[in-house]
Chains A and B, each alone.
Chain A
């Protein structure tokens, strides 16, 4: 406890003394990016994965040398680079971070180290070549990017959001979207490298990459600015860009018009309600698929011939034994050349098939809990195997399984947030989008939690009541057990 207090004191002292002093004392500039962003930013050397390559690695090395320290890369998910910076996980964030008013509200930014244009990419020969012409069409982009902000200012565009920069172009090729708007670095690497795609508008808008540091750490920001200016003056930046074949530097254009600072108003609440409706729709339809499919699997496992029994067994083990996130990726991207599902269908089918494995086990346990005498009594009355199942065994098994199924539906409501990876904007995704817009996580977070709770609590009450009713039935049915 004492030690902890002392640590906190030294930390406070170091911060007071300035970020620069802290870095010099440590001898290390800690900067963060996301390796998932890949080439050409920061990525593992293909020949020697212990080494990092990328133009930002070389810039970091140049900057560190000028500060008289070493550089050290910290891996951090791209979407949470700024929150992690704010909470103090590293000194600076540099990973294709675009200079936007939203960023400036949360962090200090350095002078630009790279200027780019936002580029509109379409399928080869596609007739609509400008943003304005794409009114009413689906356009993909990265969630939280400058391009995302531009698309939202363009009326009539249906925005499709992605977490990575490769997936938007893949979906464009597949015809799931009609255009992709992203910056020139991403467009040249990931979009125009695909033979089926071409540039429609090379200069929709202009922007710059900057390095972000914590608010208040002006000393560090100024030092980095000085170092960047020095690198540029000596032509080192140019040679780094040339080495990585980056598109030619543009003169930084007119700054992106400052967006009106979004407020958390009725319109945002409406978006939240829409997100909640998507969450509910995906969950209920996925469950509506999972329950009958699970029942079939359970019947195959309990009553099936060896082949059916074995297949059902492996279905359950495979779907329970691998992450549902991976299954969603495979279904939506991996199988896209064979099965062309739209995002909402893929979300429902993916979650439904995954949950079917769990429902199969629930149904199997419920069937196993029925006393053997029930099937015998039904057989002794002359009922066929099918009639025994339909009239006697399944009604009892479903009753037993109902509380467990209700609990699974509650889990599914929350697991449905995973489908945002395949571009479905449900409640959680809507929350993160709004949080960035209004520069606050507190209110959107609380509203999001309240909406989830409002959906799951009635279900939890229902499950509790069903369980109580089932318990009461079994309690008064002791005679049957005593008879065995």
Chain B
């Protein structure tokens, strides 16, 4: 079953070509690690997949929704898409005025129209799943970065997403906090969640990813199983990246 299909995706910021024609496909249950040098287009690619950034040309089909070039950011198709595709950001972006459980239950109540009590019950379960059963009533300011990012993952999962997009979920964290977030992601990958993770954690890519994609200068230059891509990359670009990284 194909979860995501991308064809000839192009995107420019002014004169700068950020994505120069990406073709890719993801099957349900796969975990893809997106790696490559900064400015290679990984994050922009991810943001195009849920319409936070519009693209200039090409086609995207994700979780059964077709995205067109230059869709306005508040197009109605995008809302049904976003209810099915979760996103976790590098900058955490928890809502600071709400407690952990309110952060998680907000969208189920207001977007999925779940009864508040049921939404809270499930939010508590999800927080327990990411190891935060004892911090449900804490506000973001009272949580460590790693705890905040785990709340953010629970918040994305609360919408029953078919696909989870994670944009450098551990970059803003201390090394010791990265471990706790990566452990949660590994469990998710094992449970069969379809995930695209932009990351610099090669160890994570090796262990948890079913495939690794290398982005460089707006192109997908390498696509294969972690061992093959990391140890014997075929393209010069990818070889240069792994030699430096």
Across the interface, which residues of A come within 8 angstroms of B96, CB to CB? Answer: 396, 473, 477, 480
CB distance from A382 to the nearest CB of B (A): 4
Is A480 a contact of B111 with CB atoms below 8 Å? no
Interface string of A384-396 (1 = CB under 8 A from B): 1101000110011
Is B93 a contact of A374 with CB atoms below 8 Å? yes
Interface string of B129-166 (1 = CB under 8 A from A): 00000000000111011001000100110010000000
Is A381 a contact of B141 with CB atoms below 8 Å? no
For chain B, which range describes its interface: under 10, 10 to 19, 20 to 34, or 35 or more residues?
35 or more
Neighbour of A480 across the interface among B92, B155, B171, CB < 8 A: B92
Residue of A at shortest CB range from B143? A479
Given the known inter-chain contacts A376-B52, A482-B172, A483-B172, please indicate yes or no for A383 contacting B91, CB distance below 8 A: no
CB distance from A477 to the nearest CB of B (A): 5
Is B141 a contact of A473 with CB atoms below 8 Å? yes
B90 interface residue (CB < 8 Å to A): yes
Is A371 a contact of B91 with CB atoms below 8 Å? yes
- In chain B between 93 and 142, which residues have their CB closer than 8 angstroms to a CB of chain A? 93-97, 106-107, 110-111, 140-142
In the bound complex, what is the Cα–Cα distance between A305 and B234 (angstroms)?
A: 51
In the bound complex, what is the Cα–Cα distance between A396 and B156 (angstroms)?
A: 21
Residue of A at shortest CB range from B73? A379
Residue of A at shortest CB range from B177? A479
- In chain B between 50 and 87, which residues have their CB closer than 8 angstroms to a CB of chain A? 50, 52, 73-74, 79-80, 82-83, 86-87
- In chain A between 340 and 388, which residues have their CB closer than 8 angstroms to a CB of chain B? 371, 373-374, 376-385, 387
For chain A, which range describes its interface: under 10, 10 to 19, 20 to 34, or 35 or more residues?
20 to 34
Say whether chain A's binding surface is mostly helix, strand, loop, or mixed: helix
B89 interface residue (CB < 8 Å to A): yes
A17 interface residue (CB < 8 Å to B): no
Is A382 a contact of B92 with CB atoms below 8 Å? no
In the bound complex, what is the Cα–Cα distance between A396 and B110 (angstroms)?
A: 18
CB distance from A108 to the nearest CB of B (A): 68
Is A374 a contact of B95 with CB atoms below 8 Å? yes
Most buried by B among A377, A380, A399, A483: A380
Residue of B at shortest CB range from A475? B141
CB distance from B133 to the nearest CB of A (A): 21
Given the known inter-chain contacts A383-B107, A392-B95, please indicate yes or no for A377 contacting B89, CB distance below 8 A: yes
Is B79 a contact of A376 with CB atoms below 8 Å? no
Most buried by A among B107, B148, B156: B107
A484 interface residue (CB < 8 Å to B): yes
Given the known inter-chain contacts A387-B110, A480-B91, A483-B92, please indicate yes or no for A396 contacting B74, CB distance below 8 A: no
CB distance from B100 to the nearest CB of A (A): 14
CB distance from A24 to the nearest CB of B (A): 77
Given the known inter-chain contacts A380-B82, A391-B110, A483-B90, please indicate yes or no for A399 contacting B97, CB distance below 8 A: yes
Neighbour of A381 across the interface among B90, B97, B155, CB < 8 A: B155
Is B111 a contact of A382 with CB atoms below 8 Å? yes
In the bound complex, what is the Cα–Cα distance between A198 and B119 (angstroms)?
A: 74
CB distance from A468 to the nearest CB of B (A): 14
Neighbour of A477 across the interface among B111, B141, B172, CB < 8 A: B141
CB distance from A372 to the nearest CB of B (A): 9
Is A484 a contact of B87 with CB atoms below 8 Å? no
Neighbour of B52 across the interface among A380, A396, A476, A477, CB < 8 A: A380
Across the interface, which residues of A come within 8 angstroms of B79, CB to CB? Answer: 382, 384
Is B89 a contact of A373 with CB atoms below 8 Å? yes
Neighbour of A376 across the interface among B74, B93, B110, CB < 8 A: B93
Is A373 a contact of B82 with CB atoms below 8 Å? no
Residue of A at shortest CB range from B86? A380
Given the known inter-chain contacts A376-B89, A473-B141, A476-B141, please indicate yes or no for A381 contacting B172, CB distance below 8 A: no
Is A380 a contact of B87 with CB atoms below 8 Å? yes
Residue of B at shortest CB range from A370? B96
Residue of B at shortest CB range from A387? B110
Interface string of B28-63 (1 = CB under 8 A from A): 000000000000000000000010100000000000
In the bound complex, what is the Cα–Cα distance between A426 and B44 (angstroms)?
A: 61
Can you report 13 A-B residue pairs in the complex whose CB atoms are below 8 A from each other?
A377-B87, A380-B89, A382-B80, A476-B142, A477-B96, A477-B141, A479-B92, A479-B144, A480-B91, A480-B92, A480-B94, A483-B90, A483-B92
Contacts from A to B (Cβ < 8 Å): 371, 373-374, 376-385, 387, 391-392, 395-396, 399, 473, 476-477, 479-480, 482-484
Given contacts A377-B89, A391-B110, A483-B171, 16 further A-B contacts (CB under 8 A): A374-B95, A380-B52, A381-B111, A381-B155, A382-B80, A382-B111, A387-B111, A391-B106, A396-B96, A396-B97, A473-B141, A476-B142, A477-B141, A479-B92, A480-B93, A482-B145
- In the A-B complex, list the 5 residue pairs whose CB atoms are closest, starting with the nearest: A483-B172, A377-B93, A381-B107, A380-B87, A382-B82
Contacts from B to A (Cβ < 8 Å): 50, 52, 73-74, 79-80, 82-83, 86-87, 89-97, 106-107, 110-111, 140-142, 144-145, 148, 152, 155-156, 159, 171-172
